[in-house]
Structure 1
């Protein structure tokens, strides 16, 4: 049965100011998923929102936040532009650990495109906090030097027709030292805009996250 989530708009303190965020909290959530958007996107991304809605219906809390401020360029991310965003994402994760209604929840990260690179680094930096990562059309190659440091399971979702990104994700799967799964979504391009493709992403993500959260809660994380 779907659970109705309460929706809260808030700000999270970060270096040099605050980050706008939207928190959806269903009753008795089974976990929390923080979304890491891609370059040029924000917390209003219709694709991420659609995935978040599926997770919320299944009983997961979601947090979508703007890692880039309005005054910052959004014409693409480079290796040089990632560290400040990585620092802000870590601040968001640390903030969740300080909230009474969030700190005991299993935590997963959902990263899109370049946001997946941020999610993977955050998982490496907070191994005791992050229990799962989902990458949608991700760019793990941007943080290749950190892949072996990730300590939680990783789901890599790539569109069948996103050939270059598929190759990069196949390579990344071989570099990860944890349980991971590369799932190719049939007929999908990079934005998963084809009919049914984004729904497939949402279902795969929900199933994967719930599996990892349940394993973590029942003490089988050492088997990952």
Structure 2
């Protein structure tokens, strides 16, 4: 198990977004989080996932994709192109730091953040090597964007989150990258059931470790 350094607060990108950056010793990659509507870098669920990823040897960056002023306009919370652009800017920002500039990148999106992560991945370079969506809304990225995602993508949905299962099944038909859809038994949208979030952690950790260590070139 890798030493997990406590995360530090950072200002990310040209918009000065507030982030929480944690880098374990000998990090094998960095995972950037895109939160769902009404959530942010302090999300208990995503912070739990991030802590476990750091213990597995992956750096993590949790950030608020909107400024406090922007959050006052509810429409911005569902502006997926805006959120995706901020995620892309965060990825570019990691290239400016000595500790993270050479690390391959993974995106972890939750709920509407899943759509933002996939939209950002659709235009990302080869440094973005994996995407995980937890209870995500991949449909918000658009069918066209989904066809352009190259990074291997894991869609995780609770088995009782029926409407979101259907949206993810449709997304699977559009994705042309290496892909997998996994249902967590007994879980609803927030994965609050005993053991549900740990199942997400296990799935996400294995996916990121597998693909962030892989070659950067993918087929269609």
TM range (shorter): over 0.9
Distance (Å, rounded) in 2 between the aligned partners of 1:74 and 1:58: 37
Return the offset for 1:132.
Answer: 0.3
| RMSD, aligned CA | 1.7
Relative to structure 1, the CA distance from residue 200 to residue 74 in structure 2 (aligned partners, 3 Å threshold; closer, same or farther) is farther
Residue matched to 2:169: 170
Alignment of 1:141-152 (within 5 A): 141-144=139-142, 145-152=144-151
Return the offset for 1:222.
Answer: 4.0
Q: TM-score, normalised by structure 1?
A: 0.92
Structure 1 unaligned runs (5+)? none
Return the offset for 1:48.
Answer: 0.3
Alignment of 1:26-45 (within 5 A): 26-45=24-43
Return the offset for 1:223.
Answer: 6.0
Distance (Å, rounded) in 2 between the aligned partners of 1:44 and 1:194: 20
3-state DSSP class of the match of 1:211?
A: helix
Distance (Å, rounded) in 1 between the aligned partners of 2:99 and 2:57: 14
Distance (Å, rounded) in 2 between the aligned partners of 1:140 and 1:54: 24
Return the offset for 1:60.
Answer: 0.5
Q: TM-score, normalised by structure 2?
A: 0.93
- Greater mean deviation of Cα atoms: 62-71 or 36-45: 62-71
Relative to structure 1, the CA distance from residue 164 to residue 180 in structure 2 (aligned partners, 3 Å threshold; closer, same or farther) is same
Residue matched to 1:19: 17
Please say if 1:90 is aligned against 2:95.
no
Please say if 1:7 is aligned against 2:2.
no
- Does the Cα contact within 8 Å between 1:127 and 1:151 map onto a contact in 2? no
3-state DSSP class of the match of 1:51?
A: helix
Distance (Å, rounded) in 1 between the aligned partners of 2:64 and 2:186: 30
- Does the Cα contact within 8 Å between 1:96 and 1:103 map onto a contact in 2? yes
- Does the Cα contact within 8 Å between 1:32 and 1:63 map onto a contact in 2? yes
Distance (Å, rounded) in 2 between the aligned partners of 1:74 and 1:103: 33
- Greater mean deviation of Cα atoms: 38-47 or 82-91: 82-91
- Does the Cα contact within 8 Å between 1:127 and 1:150 map onto a contact in 2? no
Return the offset for 1:75.
Answer: 4.7
Alignment of 1:115-126 (within 5 A): 115-126=113-124
3-state DSSP class of the match of 2:129?
A: strand
3-state DSSP class of the match of 1:215?
A: coil
Distance (Å, rounded) in 2 between the aligned partners of 1:78 and 1:92: 17
Q: How many residues matched?
A: 218
Return the offset for 1:91.
Answer: 1.1
- Does the Cα contact within 8 Å between 1:33 and 1:61 map onto a contact in 2? yes
